[in-house]
Amino acid sequence: MKVRELLDSVKKIKGIKTDYALAKELEIHQWLISCYYDESRIPNEFACLQIAKALGKSYEEISACIHAQTEKNEKRRAVWRDFYQQIGGIAAGVTAFILSIYDVIQWNAA
């Protein structure tokens, strides 16, 4: 799940309509929410913890999910995917598989 999708899930669960209200809910600056949406930044540890709390998930699951997508180094990204799969079970395995296919498509397109 992409960061954008995680944030949208928080909005849906909490009944939030605006990024401003989301920022208030997560106790994060509004400009960071915008950065997370446009993928110019990735959520830090505090943001991951706040997203996890809002979604009723563990910090580890949210952090691993985000790092499995955003890590630039392929070997490190694979470590995050493996960890995410270990803590997330079958759903994480499916996500990791989809992400690996996405990486192959991107690599072939380059």
Determine contact, residues 48/62, Cβ cutoff 8 Å. yes
**What value does the CA radius of gyration of the chain take, rounded to a whole number of Å?**
14
Domain limits, the chain? 3-109
* Predicted structure pTM score: 0.76
pLDDT tens digit sequence for 54-75? 999 999 999 999 999 999 999 9
Q: Is the Cα dihedral 22, 28, 31, 34 positive or negative?
A: negative
Determine contact, residues 33/7, Cβ cutoff 8 Å. yes
Per-residue pLDDT at 6 exceeds 60: yes
Token pair recorded at residue 94 = 């499916």
Q: How many other CB atoms sit within 10 Å of the CB of residue 78?
A: 16
Mean pLDDT, rounded, for 6-31: 96
Return the higher-pLDDT residue of 10 and 97. 10
